[in-house]
Amino acid sequence: MVNIGLKDVWYRYTGSSSWSLKGVSIIIQNGETVLVTGHNGSGKTTMLKIASLIYRPSSGAVLVDGKDFWVLRESERTSVRRSIVYVHEKPVLLRGSVLSNVAYGLAIRGVSSGEAVKKCREVLEELGIWELHRSSPHKLSAGQAQLMAVARALVLDPEALFLDEPFAHLDSEKREILVNTLIGRQRQGVSIVISSHQVGYLGKLSVNKTVTLENGVVMRAREKREKGESNS
């Protein structure tokens, strides 16, 4: 159970002279699926990283279940972060095998390796890439690496899942696998936030809310996706 709110969030990257987010306010309710759209450079990635508690806003607040996240103590922050997971647009590959990459989050939570392997296998099989578990992640195709990064997040059973352009490198077959997996998670009550500069990829995935960004400002926030917008 997690509600995440951004309250008048402004963000400027270190060394940059312009604001990447200018007063963004949104609410992601528990169990909701939110689509964030907008052109390249509109601030989708920045907003997702702020909402998933990776970046600290330059000003404004991030509320998790009503509590101001950035005034919490470091240890409290870590425990809040454990239920909120973000998947990068460009997967970050770690040394070792696909399996050890996927197991990373479990390892730092102190999960035993036997249990971790079992969990990883479950998720990798669901995503159709279990047979790659021994390979080096550097040998994967872009789409396979993307799915590996999603698996690394899903094994943690997050309450809120942030996916940055998750469909960008996927072919239609992998896209369908991912959509079906996400539908399964929706049914379990997981909040899902997806960014996409193209809206056509979502297929059967239903969305509760669409947020459109333009130059760091929320242009439109609509409950329920309008018909026809989903299919391209």
Ligand X SMILES: Nc1ncnc2c1ncn2[C@@H]1O[C@H](COP(=O)(O)OP(=O)(O)O)[C@@H](O)[C@H]1O
Q: Does residue 112 belong to the site contacting another protein (CB under 8 A)?
A: no
DSSP-derived pairing of the beta strands 67-68 and 21-28: unpaired
Both structure tokens of 53: 């508690």
According to DSSP, the residues that pair with 36 across neighbouring strands are 195, 211
Nearer to Mg ion, 20 or 45 (CB): 45
Asked if 167 interacts with another protein (CB under 8 A), we say no
Residue 114 CB-density burial (10 A; 0-12 exposed, 13-18 middle, 19+ buried): exposed
Nearer to another protein, 14 or 232 (CB): 14
Is the CB of 44 or the CB of 209 nearer to Mg ion?
44
Among 32, 34, 44, 208, binds ligand X (CB under 6 A): 44
The four Cα atoms 42, 198, 48, 154 give a dihedral, to 10 degrees, of -160
Question: Which residues contact Mg ion by CB under 5 A?
Answer: 44-45
Minimum CB–partner distance for residue 51 and ligand X (Å): 12
52 binds ligand X (CB under 6 A): no
| C-beta closer to another protein: residue 95 or 227 | 95
The two three-digit tokens of residue 26, written as one number: 């949104």
Segments of the chain assigned E as strands: 4-11, 21-28, 33-37, 59-64, 67-68, 84-87, 160-164, 191-195, 209-214, 217-223
Interaction site with another protein (CB under 8 A)? 14-15, 49, 52-54, 74-75, 78, 81-88, 92, 94-97, 99-100, 103-105, 107-109, 113, 117, 152-153, 156
Interaction site with ligand X (CB under 6 A)? 13, 16, 20, 38, 40-46
